[in-house]
Amino acid sequence: MDVFEVFHVFFKDIIFTLCELVFLTTVFLIIYIVIRTLFKKVGYISFFKKDKEYSEIILKKIKFFLIFIYIFLILALLGYNGYLIYKNIGVYQNAVSTVSGIPSEFWTGLLVGALKIILVSVAAHYFIKLNSKILDKAQIKSKAYKNLKSNNETIDNFFFRLQKIIKNSIIFLILIYAMNLLFFPERFINNMYVVLKIYLIASGGILLARAATVVVDSLEDLSKRHRYREDYLEWYNRLNSLLPLFRRCLEYIIYVWITSLAMLQISFFSKYVPFGTAAVQIIGIFFITRMVVEILKLFVDKYMMKSENELLNKQRRTLIPIMKSFLQTIVYFIALILTLRALKINPVPILAGAGIFSLVIGMGAQSLINDIVAGIFILFESIFLVGDYIETGSSHGVVESIFLRTTKIRDPNGQLHILRNGQINEVENYSKGYTFAVVEVGVAYDSDLEYVFQVLNDIGKRIKEKNPSVLEELVVRGIKEFGESELLIRTVTKVRPGHHLSVVFELRNMIKNEFDLKGIEIPFARRVVIIKNQSETEQKKNI
């Protein structure tokens, strides 16, 4: 091939490439003109007139999209033709052979398919707009329902996500429809359907979680309006703390469920779906266990503290913690069995092994068994109850709680003593029926004892009228002992169990004030300090 012929072929390829560019430009101009004309015609319809501005925005987006595709095709065309020229392959001959091999029905179908895609896209656009208006009205009505304003933000978030999911799903469907019309491979289209299903499952699950949050918040807001009813307030205060846990458990169940459905769409992951079912059951068991425990505690508190007998109430206050712990242990044990069942694990061998292990531990924990046995006898023999003032060993104070293994005592200084029940040997109980507030006061030897006794009796009468814990008036027992500078007088006042210390403090205060007012002397020790001059001491030594 001579130089002239090579130049002729090269010039011919360049001219053909320019023709292809002109043809491509003409096609895109025609497509744009058709789309713009179609949008103008639609804008004349009264139903779409109010969306004219939005239609212009869509038209601009289509324009930019067509320009992007146009530039991409030009670059691809120039690159491909340059490659053919570099390989000494005629661009014109290659184009003719390629086009001639394509049947005419393909071009007709391609053109019809492009028009269908444009029409479907326009219809989808207005459908999305109409759907948005419908959802906006539903959003307004949902927020106005019974003036529930606490979850307005949650409702807005829910409807925003719903509109977004519908819009994205429609766009995805249009894309798959376009792939069908443009003769994409069937396997690729099936994979796109799988992707769409996973997207719908994930988006629908998240939307369902948001809907569950809206429902729970609305129920909580409604319950607050009725919580002041006397028969409802106690239930509300106790079970309201479970609402955050219920919300979380519900969300986790939905997330696990949508994950299982998404895995079911992919054959490789479908074998792991049963684990999702087990996870949902375990979450449900966990929440129901917590709810049952709270309800049982509420029943125990509600129906075991209705007696007007103070002694019976003290006995029940002592037994209530034990009963709660017992019921809670039973519920947790049942929950453990159900959890093992959900995991397809036979609980019998595990429970048998746990029983043998407990027996071995029990044989080595004699002190623990001793404490539990002692606690059982303390409870059933009512040696002391919650609220009693007792003294045992070096500890004394009010009993705060009694468990099978330990007893907690709060002393007058606020310190908490935790005693093992097996270590409690001798107990002095100041709360069985009554106790005495003993006050001893010293007076001078030259005091008029009859007058002193009369003043003490008057104080006893006043404190009985003033303090409801005092059961009987003060009794002067007489002179307890003769001191070096005082006569020690002993007084005894009968008081309610556990109130002797407070009455003792009050009596001492009243006796001091009354003795000062009546001129009765309370003797106290006096010391005389003699200071000698140093010079006088030295003179005596010299003598």
Torsion angle defined by CA atoms of residues 213, 217, 218 and 222, in that order, rounded to the nearest 10 degrees: 150
- Is the pLDDT at 443 greater than 50? The verdict is yes
Q: Which of 157, 192, 226 is the last residue of a domain?
A: 226
pLDDT at 46: 42
Q: Let me know whether 191 and 292 are in one domain.
A: no
362 vs 453, higher pLDDT = 453
Quick check: 409 and 449 in contact, CB under 8 A? Answer: no
Q: Lowest-pLDDT range, 138-142, 352-356, 474-478? A: 352-356
- Is the pLDDT at 140 greater than 60? The verdict is yes
- Is the pLDDT at 72 greater than 70? The verdict is yes
Nearest alpha carbon to residue 489 among 457, 464, 453: 453
**Domain count of the fold of the chain:** 5
pLDDT at 304: 64
Q: The CATH number of the domain where 402 resides is what?
A: 2.30.30.60
Beta bridge partners of 435: 495
Torsion angle defined by CA atoms of residues 329, 334, 335 and 341, in that order, rounded to the nearest 10 degrees: 150
* Domain assignment of residue 85, given as a range: 1-101
Q: Let me know whether 196 and 131 are in one domain.
A: yes
Give domain status of residue 32, yes or no. yes
Name the phi and psi angles at 519, rounded to 5. 75, 25
pLDDT at 399: 83
Q: Let me know whether 381 and 358 are in one domain.
A: no
Give domain status of residue 53, yes or no. yes
Q: Let me know whether 277 and 184 are in one domain.
A: no
Q: Let me know whether 420 and 440 are in one domain.
A: no
Per residue in 447-492, pLDDT tens? 888 888 888 888 888 888 888 888 888 888 888 888 877 888 898 8
Q: Let me know whether 442 and 479 are in one domain.
A: yes
Q: What angle do CA 34, 37, 38 make, to 5 degrees?
A: 85
Beta bridge partners of 429: 390
Distance from C-alpha of 92 to C-alpha of 76, rounded to nearest angstrom: 16
Kindly report the average pLDDT of the chain as a whole number.
75
Give domain status of residue 477, yes or no. yes
Q: Let me know whether 138 and 172 are in one domain.
A: yes
Give domain status of residue 29, yes or no. yes
> What single-letter amino acid sits at 4?
F
Q: Lowest-pLDDT range, 31-45, 88-102, 243-257? A: 31-45
pLDDT at 48: 46
Going by pLDDT thresholds of 50, 70 and 90, the confidence category of residue 528 is: low
pLDDT at 129: 77
pLDDT at 501: 81
> Once rounded to an integer, what is the mean pLDDT over residues 513-530?
76
Quick check: 209 and 254 in contact, CB under 8 A? Answer: yes
- Is the pLDDT at 286 greater than 80? The verdict is yes
Give domain status of residue 380, yes or no. yes
Q: Let me know whether 380 and 444 are in one domain.
A: no
Give domain status of residue 171, yes or no. yes
pLDDT at 44: 45
pLDDT at 55: 64
Q: Lowest-pLDDT range, 324-338, 427-441, 450-464? A: 427-441
Structure tokens at 16: 């053909």
Q: DSSP letters along 235-259, please? A: HHHHHGGGHHHHHHHHHHHHHHHHH
373 vs 45, higher pLDDT = 373
Nearest alpha carbon to residue 354 among 370, 340, 374, 366: 340
Q: Let me know whether 222 and 135 are in one domain.
A: yes
Give domain status of residue 258, yes or no. no
Per residue in 6-44, pLDDT tens? 666 677 778 878 888 888 888 888 877 877 776 666 554
Q: Which of 363, 385, 413 is the last residue of a domain?
A: 363
Q: Let me know whether 442 and 412 are in one domain.
A: no
Distance from C-alpha of 507 to C-alpha of 463, rounded to nearest angstrom: 8
225 vs 211, higher pLDDT = 211
Structure tokens at 535: 């010079």
Per residue in 142-190, pLDDT tens? 766 655 555 566 677 777 777 788 877 887 787 777 777 666 667 777 7
- Is the pLDDT at 47 greater than 50? The verdict is no
Q: Let me know whether 310 and 392 are in one domain.
A: no
Nearest alpha carbon to residue 390 among 435, 434, 426, 427: 427
> Once rounded to an integer, what is the mean pLDDT over residues 362-369?
63
Q: Let me know whether 335 and 406 are in one domain.
A: no
Q: Which of 226, 249, 284 is the last residue of a domain?
A: 226
pLDDT at 219: 64
pLDDT at 365: 58
Give domain status of residue 523, yes or no. no
Name the phi and psi angles at 184, rounded to 5. -70, 155
- Is the pLDDT at 541 greater than 60? The verdict is no
Distance from C-alpha of 23 to C-alpha of 371, rounded to nearest angstrom: 99
